[in-house]
Amino acid sequence: MEDLLSLAIDEARKQGASFAEARFQNTTILFLEFLNGKIRNSNFNSYKGVGIRVLVENSFGFSSTNILNKESIIECVNRAIKIAKTNKRKSKIEIEKTRAYKDTIFVKPKTTLFDADLDEFIKEIKELDKRIQEIESRVMIRVFFFAGVNEEKLYMNSDGSRIEHRIPIVNLTRFFTVIDPQKGVLQRSRSEGGSSGLEYLKELKIEEKALEDAKILGQILDKGEKLKESGYYDVVIDGEITGLISHESCGHPFEADRILGREAAQGGESYVKLEMLKKEKIGSDVLTIVDNPLIEKSLGFYVYDEEGVPARKKYLIKNGVVEELLLNREYAAKLSTVSNGSARATAYFNEPLIRMSNTYIEPGDYSVEELIEDVKKGVYFKSYMEWNIDDRRWNQKYGGLEAYLIENGEIKGFLRNPVLEVTTGQLYKSIDAVGKDLKFEAGLCGKGEPMQGVPVWFGGPTIRARRLWIK
Amino acid sequence: MSIENKIETLVKKFQEKGIEDAIINLYSTNTVLVRYANNEIMIPIINNDSVISICIGYRKRRLIIHLNDVYFDENRIVDRLMNMINQLEEQEVYVSLPKNKFKYESILDIDEETRKAEEKVLDLVDGIINESLNRGIKRVAGTIEIKHTNIKSWTSTGLFLEDKRSSVMLNHRCFIESLSTGQWSYTARSIKDLDWKLVIDKSSEICKMNINHKKAEAGKYTVVFSPMIFASLMEHVAYATSAYAVETGYSYLAGKLGKKVASEKLTVIDDPLNKASPGYARYDEECIPTRKKEIIKKGILLTYLHNLTTAKKFNTETTGNAGLVSPYPWSIHVEAGDYNEDEIIKEVKKGLFIVNNWYLRFQNYQLGDFSTILRDGIFLIENGEIKTALHGARLSDNFLNLITNIKALTKRVYPIKWWEVNTPTYVPYALVDNMNITTAE
């Protein structure tokens, strides 16, 4: 494969490309879907191909093929060069110059997808399904989606970089519907996974968490009450939701391409402006949010990005101040700085874009009990179903699922579907304490056109925010 | 050996191993996609790809495979898949491929202009940008995608079928300032039918109105939805009729077959045989002929969408909507009403005109509770006239409430497809009562 990628880069340079990169990707995915303890769908996918991006005169050009021979690769280069040259773009695209890297990153799981004992895994899910029904018979619809992925990538560019990644992924999503003819319907969806083999699902204690979900859903149905009065409450928010908050209202708006309008037609723009960098305080002193691809076993794990730049931990917000943006080589050049290794692509046929990896609020030193004991009148959000945020990442909503009323420092009864609808500014400035219980959630982050989903973790500890409007 | 010959060999080898049912679809797709922003083309992309989809059934077990390696080794594939399928359990419901002789609609050719789009597409995009700037717009961003696919299909029952599918999509967003935006999209089967001038007219007109904003106030409103947001909402309604959504808890229409679920004004049709639609398809993923069907007729839910397996589970016939795993609509059409577009606004004494949305998420699929962010134009209507532009609003409501409260539809339908609307969806403007709008305090 290396020969074909070298050929592509040489051919592109011969035809006038000032920069060329070629990415080979070979991805195999096993999906199993279980409905009420039976396998509903078994699906195996295998995709491989090469994507070639060239920079010619003022324009990028991109082309891809799944036919992996010399003729097809040359044809692919020709298409990318031709369409780039046809572009009458006036302003010049530049990319930040970086040194060449050569490296190989293998994550070797204990059990690869094809050595795994699927029979045993299938039995475990069926057994779990039975135990869920024993704990809460009203969980009438139980769906589990398993995805096991093996991914090999070879990246080469005209700077001389050659980087190979082999990373496996496992992910298990559960979706429960609890139905009680008198008390109503509740639903819960949750994903967990990481860059590892099948054995990792045990480390994540998914069985324990799924059983706890079933039990709690039943209790919410039986005991949950609507919030009696909308109003200002102090709010304690679990890491399941603070992770989503860090991803949606910090990670996305800190993508430099979004700030500078490249995603304006789809994902939108940002409340962050370049002049805010290192100056503007948008959160309280206790709020620090980072993006870090170097967490082993995480879903957002990578060591070099898809432009051959080494990955590193980035502080996006530090003690409330806008600290650093997510950059690729193009946007680093626009800002006269260096890339921080944030370019990712879902598949060989996708252009690399500025993306998050593992985004989270850095933990503080409070226990959850300490966060709650200082609340006179509050709401404790532990989990959610519905959420959304506007395309400048300012106006957001979280529909609580497991949630409790807090009175005089004590957790009282279950609340049914309380809603936090708030702006990023209100939320970030109202945080007065951060817990030490950092945890991560699995997600698939969407961006670009065609939509590219990349695996990420988003995380955070429990936090406390003062005086937010709860409905 | 050609890929076609390899696939024919594969079918024979599967049969020699005792495979009872096999469907193999070969998709060869060319995609030209141009992304533009800040009044310039950001990147043109050309992708050529072939994907082979294999579905095999063996002793009531079923396995689906997708691969794009055109040099696959037939013996290796057969051995690996037999090994995998033997590890699986029997399906709760297993359906063999029917041996009926079906009649299929004719193949529609793809015109040369669409097939050779890469030659002229950049000029078209430059034209769209320049025309928008000539209308007083400061900044535009968008995407044009032109895709055509040749499909060849083989089954273990001896069928060999072909189809040609094509799709053109333009999504265009105008800016005067950060909050002053207007957006419209269009979709067609052929590039010559792409009405890009309409897209510029609509998006620039909305953008110019969308200035001097006030913060929206929460409350119940009568709302006129533009086709952009109404397409997103109606696509969700159509997907809620997929039998997959019904059986897995993702549908608020579960248990409501034959019942009145919506206003009499609402008729939703899935029409894969509409020759102008990019959803045109003469057969589904199980090689069953597709057909036009009313899903909701005058508010009554007439059918769910089925493939062979879900149809057997629901004790009915397939609707030609496979989806090997999940049935899906091909081309969604909401029947037009009898209002002109200015008349429908005049109907509203106090309400909102909402252009577009994104991020629709459910609190509860089974109940239909959802919310979605409103964007690209939210306007207060007073005494039948569009007045102040608003910002910061969200539609937080319930799908059954929404479709029950449709009061009027306009005469003209618009073909919509973009980021938030994956299936070509043809919808009019819609007047809906009693919609719950929420805001951050």
Same domain? For A17 and A77 the reply is yes
pLDDT in tens, B182-212: 999 999 999 999 999 999 999 999 999 999 9
Inspect the interface and report whether the beta carbons of A449 and B65 lie closer than 8 Å: no
Whole-Å CA distances, B91 to A71, A91, B53, B225: 44, 58, 20, 43
Determine if residue B298 is left, alpha or beta; phi over 0 gives left, psi from -120 to 50 gives alpha, anything else beta: left
Q: Looking at the complex, does the CB of residue B93 fall below 8 Å from at least one CB of chain A?
A: no
Identify the pLDDT of residue A383. Answer: 97
Identify the pLDDT of residue B238. Answer: 98
Of B46, B88, B439, the CB nearest to A42: B88
Q: Looking at the complex, does the CB of residue B92 fall below 8 Å from at least one CB of chain A?
A: yes
> Which residue, of A162, A196, A223, is where some domain finishes?
A223
Which chain A residue has the Cα nearest residue B139? A261
CB pairs under 8 A between A and B: 226
Averaged pLDDT, A11-18? 97
Q: Looking at the complex, does the CB of residue B69 fall below 8 Å from at least one CB of chain A?
A: yes
- Does position B437 have pLDDT exceeding 80, yes or no? yes
Identify the pLDDT of residue B179. Answer: 87
Query: DSSP secondary structure string, B141-166?
Result: EEEEEEEEEEEEEEETTS-EEEEEEE
DSSP three-state, residue A6: helix
Identify the pLDDT of residue A118. Answer: 80
Same domain? For A35 and A107 the reply is yes
- Does position A116 have pLDDT exceeding 90, yes or no? no
Q: For residues B305 and B253, is the Cβ–Cβ distance under 8 A?
A: no
Inspect the interface and report whether the beta carbons of B371 and A399 lie closer than 8 Å: yes
Inspect the interface and report whether the beta carbons of B362 and A390 lie closer than 8 Å: no
Same domain? For A258 and A320 the reply is yes
pLDDT in tens, B301-339: 999 999 999 999 999 999 999 999 999 999 999 999 999
Domain ranges, residue A266: 231-470
The number of domains in chain A is 2
Distance CA B292, CA B282 (A): 11
- Does position B119 have pLDDT exceeding 90, yes or no? no
Mean pLDDT of chain A: 96
Same domain? For A320 and A381 the reply is yes
The CATH code of the domain at B3-205 is 3.30.2290.10
pLDDT in tens, A117-150: 788 889 999 999 999 999 999 999 999 999 999 9
pLDDT in tens, A330-372: 999 999 999 999 999 999 999 999 999 999 999 999 999 999 9
Same domain? For A176 and A73 the reply is yes
pLDDT in tens, A408-426: 999 999 999 999 999 999 9
Determine if residue A36 is left, alpha or beta; phi over 0 gives left, psi from -120 to 50 gives alpha, anything else beta: left
Identify the pLDDT of residue B88. Answer: 87
Identify the pLDDT of residue A112. Answer: 74
pLDDT in tens, A276-294: 999 999 999 999 999 999 9
Q: For residues B417 and B168, is the Cβ–Cβ distance under 8 A?
A: no
Residues of chain A contacting B372 with CB distance shorter than 8 Å:
388
Averaged pLDDT, A62-80? 97
pLDDT in tens, B206-221: 999 999 999 999 999 9
Of B183, B366, B441, the CB nearest to A187: B366
Domain ranges in chain B with CATH number 3.30.2290.10: 3-205
What is the ipTM score, two decimals?
0.96
Q: Looking at the complex, does the CB of residue B39 fall below 8 Å from at least one CB of chain A?
A: no
Within A66-221, strands assigned E span 102-106, 139-157, 162-180, 184-194
Q: Looking at the complex, does the CB of residue B198 fall below 8 Å from at least one CB of chain A?
A: no
Chain A closest CA to B432's CA: distance in Å?
Answer: 23
Please choose, from the candidates A244, A249, A245, the residue with its C-alpha nearest in 3D space to the C-alpha of residue A393.
A249
Mean pLDDT of chain B: 96
Inspect the interface and report whether the beta carbons of A39 and B171 lie closer than 8 Å: no
Distance CA B36, CA B48 (A): 21
Inspect the interface and report whether the beta carbons of A47 and B66 lie closer than 8 Å: yes
Identify the pLDDT of residue A342. Answer: 98
What element of type H or E holds B3? helix B3-16
Same domain? For A395 and A411 the reply is yes
Averaged pLDDT, B240-249? 98
Residue A425, both tokens: 């500014």
Residues 259-318 of B with CB under 8 A from A: none
Percent of chain B with pLDDT over 90: 92
pLDDT in tens, B354-402: 999 999 999 999 999 999 999 999 999 999 999 999 999 999 999 999 9
Residues of chain B contacting A469 with CB distance shorter than 8 Å:
440-441
Distance CA B127, CA B34 (A): 13
Inspect the interface and report whether the beta carbons of A386 and B325 lie closer than 8 Å: no
Same domain? For A214 and A242 the reply is no
* The CA-based dihedral angle spanning residues A297, A299, A303, A305, taken in that order and rounded to the nearest 10 degrees: 170
Chain B closest CA to A312's CA: distance in Å?
Answer: 27
Identify the pLDDT of residue B243. Answer: 98
Inspect the interface and report whether the beta carbons of A179 and B366 lie closer than 8 Å: yes
> Which residue, of A182, A204, A223, is where some domain finishes?
A223
Residue B39, both tokens: 């009044």
Inspect the interface and report whether the beta carbons of A386 and B142 lie closer than 8 Å: no
What element of type H or E holds A379? strand A377-381
CATH assignment of the domain containing A184: 3.30.2290.10
Percent of chain B with pLDDT over 70: 100
Identify the pLDDT of residue B286. Answer: 97
Of B41, B364, B369, the CB nearest to A89: B41
Same domain? For A189 and A333 the reply is no
Of A83, A143, A179, the CB nearest to B44: A83
| Main-chain dihedrals φ then ψ at residue A47, nearest 5 degrees | -125, 135
Which chain A residue has the Cα nearest residue B48? A65
Identify the pLDDT of residue B127. Answer: 97
Averaged pLDDT, A14-20? 97
Of B88, B175, B371, the CB nearest to A388: B371
Same domain? For A339 and A272 the reply is yes
Same domain? For A52 and A94 the reply is yes
- Residue A160, number of CB atoms within 10 A of its CB: 12
Q: Looking at the complex, does the CB of residue B99 fall below 8 Å from at least one CB of chain A?
A: no
